[in-house]
Amino acid sequence: MSTCTSCEAELRPEWKFCIMCGTPVIPAAVRPERAETAVGQKIATYAPLVFAIACFSLAAIVIAWFAINVWF
């Protein structure tokens, strides 16, 4: 599987754009190879967790606002 040139997410061969960042997919024959870095690997590992925490935090803020402004 190939990876996105911007966010290094895994890409399927049939995709025309990265589903994580929207970058157009460049065919492997045209794309230059990038060395894997430790920082890039850490970001790829923790990005879904950070995104999930941000979503749950936003949901908690919306529920709290709704509770304060609508229910009371």
Tens digit of each residue's pLDDT (9 = 90 or more) over 6-47: 888 888 888 888 888 988 887 765 555 666 677 777 778 888
Coil, helix or strand for 50? helix
Distance CA 56, CA 58 (A): 5
The whole-model pTM stands at: 0.41
The total of structural domains in the chain comes to 2
52 lies in which domain range?
35-72
Integer angstrom CA distances of residue 56 from 60, 62, 70 = 6, 10, 21
Distance CA 62, CA 21 (A): 25
Same domain for 40 and 71? yes
Same domain for 4 and 15? yes
